[in-house]
Structure 1
């Protein structure tokens, strides 16, 4: 009897579906979610104890495959057998190079060095020590099987528990739908209900393939093996995030704070600029600034979303600013300060003393309200019509949107669009800078005022484009989509903001918009995410996760939001279960308040905001 037929005869069909569902929900929040990559398919199959070769994967994930549903996943599991004792014996013999019946440190290290993530000998030794019952420093066949199969069985038990909890939570949500409490809760209470654990069933994989069609070997686990041994999620470690008792960090998000604005601010020199956040393919893009300070001075910086700027839930998008040096200080730090306090209108501000020099001013939003739209439905708005003479003209609704776009692109707020501002607009909408000959076309076709485009001239340019294309709106829609508008002419993928910089002792400071793009890499090969994580770690409160020496959690709160930083100091991806489902009136920069996070080496940031 084949392994496949044996498998189907020993497991009830309903039980089989439940096993597949539990494995699927260990990766996704719902079986309605799709598998969107070959790597995700491999990981999902590994959660069921299967370890397909590259050849098998390509059989189900072809060049024409964009996604697979849960039903597709179940069908694949029916066709592909789970790992058997024969597979393990083949794997054991393959790793046992000298054929002495044992897997030594050198043999296992050689395999883990040639395939997958590189491992040091000390890391491989830790893997062996955890299952080496007779402490001889090597693995016999029994110990090898224990290392592989125990992980798989623990995973399945934990997956079932996780599935039951998610389904229970879903039932509770359905029961109380439409009856959500409107009471305000502090950010701190929202953060304190987060439960961090690393269940055995949430590992990257329990098996790892070695070559085309070859049998499995143990996954490279390192810190993944320091998880809770209990199969009950309620028995997992629950460190309680603590918040500093400093009054400046104890504010409930429901009460407004008055910014500590300098009393003599009217006497300071004021420089301002507009800007916008844009969402593009799930990545954040925004206007970014150089700040040149000729003299030492005290500064005051504020940022706030512009009127009408709303997130996906129609609430104001949170905005803040990070001030960076142009080169690391003696301790290797780039961060100078960032905004933490706000007023009732959502304006954030920060005051600090700066030495003369060059700085970067980087706008930031947590992403709790500003996210990629999941889908777009509804009737497409009409952009162009024909008048009685047959001339193509832009519609009234499109004209209103173009006026708003002009105002957002007029960064200095002088009522005109300079060539530099028009160039930034063009880079955003077409990806190209405005060449001299193109600017000459602008000058030839519309009237300028002091060399700058008026609002009427900007509207005229778009009408000329509609007329030149004989009513074809493809390029017009490209402009709208690039500026964050959907097909109903609603801005839901952009957030305009106002940035104000005041200097007390310097009259000729310069605030210069240098780009509208994703965040660059800074001196010292630091990403902006690295800088944000380090700042929240520095200002937050640490909570160590029991049994996870390589994973720490830091809780940071300010007047508007709370952030958890999961700092993974190991060299291996770990999984943590994030459960904020008992919190009310709160939203997160992740799609669900209860989900499994994959934390790569380094830091992962999870933020929370009140819904209203």
Structure 2
């Protein structure tokens, strides 16, 4: 569907009348639950299951249209980049949260700007020039579709009031049709992919009533289900819990002190390699980070550590990311074996530093940074005033504000992976891929070096500042593109880095000089999930869910966290209801105390990570896993 004339207007948070229609059915559901109901309804008009992924730009466009959106090509390009292979249902929900339906008032406002006579009409000739020459240009064929709508065109001009009404009505009808289809097929109501609601009793909302972990009444089943995953909050046919199992772990305050990381006595004599990186939280909740290769030339005792990077902050302000848990999985490449072999995962910690010590043979190793996501979550802080990025001097010249320069200096520290105070082309391209999705080629880099301060063919900190100033100058002081960069790097409108966690990795070896190199920056979810499942299933405890012969719960406990993995050995998908309400002083990566997850046939999946909310207090992990039918 082509971009509308209102495509350049800001998107409104206006609620669809479909939401009001749903309310009239006396469903005791929240706005958030209604949002996910509409998401799922739209998705299931295109796909048979929410386990299916969007595999093309066209599928993404169709799914968005079914959800009542009218995405432009620019919008599609934003979410389907050259690096995109597929998008899942979670990604789809995240996109719909950002791309709100355009309201009628916004469309009218946009049209009135080009209505020179202020009479409610726009000549077709004027409309053609505007929509095919400005902004995101429409094709002649797309223009003819609009002009051929007889009800809104007369005497060579467009009645844009009627057009706006038709536009909004069409979007609402798309949503309504999708929802009706969902209601007709009750089986569709079972499609789900885990937790989506933001906010829980962990963050101060009213706690829910606590059912018994062992005896669950039939009347409680529906209540618990409707408190779970947003896409599971629909009026459902009566369900039963076929079986359930509970898990209880009590951990004393400061339990991590019993697993303290100690440096080898002779560490100062060992050779060291250091690099930096960052965890970035995506809109869909995935966490993206660098991956690394480590090379050892001979067998050595090795000491590996990872910790949050302590950047310069305003006086009196603490860096929130310093409390984020940072760890890693170390894997070995072996000749003749296609899969990497798991070597270790840090079990020891000294304050915020996680580490591992042991002997490694010569060869190449893959290091994948890992954080549970329990403490790196979407920012819910409401920013009342946007920070100023650029200003003008007395002569009208542009300059970067002190606060923005401080943020750019921190960004420079993060992307300067080797810590030499300069940016190589490779380091700069990690930044470019993160913020723009495109690499800087050799020719462009040569031009960059000609215009900005460099040293040893690498960009200096001042050169990086000047590059950003040039970007602001090219936009005549408009900070929009600068904000795109800042948001990509985890900053909010107050210039606080709230959705990223920079870290530093140290590799020590006693017999040789180790080498560590960043390879790429990508989502680790698929690969990491397999590694985590394998690790938990090999080292953790295992329970069949109430002796069910095909569905197993694997739980691994350390002094810092609890991880649970679900293993579905059956030929059919299963839905597991998870209830953490009886846990105390705990936070999980799903941000919900009650949720449901769907496990595909013959597969394993990470169910949740749980950590103490306050490590100085006792924490109790008490979870009930129920198999639903």
Aligned length: 453
TM-score by length of 1: 0.63
Post-superposition offset of 1:75: 8.4
Post-superposition offset of 1:547: 4.8
**Which residue number corresponds to residue 302 of structure 2?**
299
Query: Which residue among 295, 317, 322 is the counterpart of 2:324?
Result: 317
Post-superposition offset of 1:398: 0.6
Distance 1:332 1:360, change over 3 A: closer
Post-superposition offset of 1:444: 1.5
Contact 2:255/2:559 (<8 A) preserved? no
Q: Secondary structure at the match of 1:587?
A: strand
Distance 1:72 1:63, change over 3 A: closer
Query: Which residue among 363, 371, 389 is the counterpart of 2:377?
Result: 371
Q: Secondary structure at the match of 1:590?
A: coil
Q: Superposed, which structure 2 residues align to 1:35-184 within 5 Å?
A: 35-38=38-41, 61=66, 64=69
Q: Superposed, which structure 2 residues align to 1:471-482 within 5 Å?
A: 471-482=477-488
**Which residue number corresponds to residue 339 of structure 1?**
346
Say whether residues 1:451 and 2:457 are aligned partners: yes
Post-superposition offset of 1:461: 1.9
Unpaired runs of 5+ residues, structure 1, are: 1-12, 47-56, 88-147, 157-165, 178-191, 205-229, 244-249, 522-526
Q: Please give the alpha-carbon distance, in whole angstroms, between the structure 1 residues aligned to 2:217 and 2:273.
A: 47
Post-superposition offset of 1:419: 2.9
Distance 1:575 1:387, change over 3 A: same
Distance 1:197 1:421, change over 3 A: farther
Q: Superposed, which structure 2 residues align to 1:162-311 within 5 Å?
A: 236-240=243-247, 254-256=255-257, 257-282=259-284, 283-307=286-310
Q: Please give the alpha-carbon distance, in whole angstroms, between the structure 2 residues aligned to 1:194 and 1:474.
A: 54
Q: Deviations over 1:340-391 (max 9, x none)?
A: 21112x1100122222111111101111121334686533221111100111
**Which residue number corresponds to residue 357 of structure 1?**
363
Distance 1:570 1:412, change over 3 A: same
Contact 2:372/2:609 (<8 A) preserved? yes
**Which residue number corresponds to residue 490 of structure 1?**
496
* 477-486 or 399-408, which deviates more: 477-486
Post-superposition offset of 1:393: 0.9
Distance 1:470 1:596, change over 3 A: same
Contact 1:312/1:369 (<8 A) preserved? no
Q: Deviations over 1:384-423 (max 9, x none)?
A: 1110011111111111101111111121222222332223
Contact 1:35/1:41 (<8 A) preserved? no
Post-superposition offset of 1:260: 3.2
**Which residue number corresponds to residue 579 of structure 2?**
579
Q: Please give the alpha-carbon distance, in whole angstroms, between the structure 2 residues aligned to 1:394 and 1:578.
A: 49
Contact 2:330/2:345 (<8 A) preserved? yes
Q: Which has the larger radius of gyration?
A: 1
Post-superposition offset of 1:253: 5.1
**Which residue number corresponds to residue 229 of structure 2?**
none
Say whether residues 1:558 and 2:521 are aligned partners: no
Q: Please give the alpha-carbon distance, in whole angstroms, between the structure 2 residues aligned to 1:534 and 1:501.
A: 25
Distance 1:29 1:604, change over 3 A: farther
Contact 2:66/2:175 (<8 A) preserved? no
Contact 2:41/2:181 (<8 A) preserved? no
* 562-571 or 401-410, which deviates more: 562-571
Unpaired runs of 5+ residues, structure 2, are: 1-20, 50-61, 71-95, 102-171, 191-196, 226-237, 615-629
Q: Secondary structure at the match of 1:237?
A: strand
Q: Secondary structure at the match of 1:506?
A: coil
Q: Deviations over 1:31-51 (max 9, x none)?
A: 5755313366679x99xxxxx
Post-superposition offset of 1:573: 2.4
Q: Deviations over 1:209-249 (max 9, x none)?
A: xxxxxxxxxxxxxxxxxxxxx9776x952343679xxxxxx
Contact 1:278/1:285 (<8 A) preserved? yes
**Which residue number corresponds to residue 519 of structure 2?**
514
TM-score by length of 2: 0.61
Q: Please give the alpha-carbon distance, in whole angstroms, between the structure 1 residues aligned to 2:552 and 2:318.
A: 31
Query: Which residue among 406, 410, 414 is the counterpart of 2:412?
Result: 406
Q: Please give the alpha-carbon distance, in whole angstroms, between the structure 1 residues aligned to 2:215 and 2:292.
A: 38
Q: Please give the alpha-carbon distance, in whole angstroms, between the structure 2 residues aligned to 1:328 and 1:443.
A: 41
Q: Please give the alpha-carbon distance, in whole angstroms, between the structure 2 residues aligned to 1:16 and 1:385.
A: 51
**Which residue number corresponds to residue 326 of structure 1?**
333
Q: Please give the alpha-carbon distance, in whole angstroms, between the structure 1 residues aligned to 2:556 and 2:525.
A: 25
Say whether residues 1:541 and 2:548 are aligned partners: no
Contact 2:42/2:175 (<8 A) preserved? no
Q: Secondary structure at the match of 1:274?
A: strand
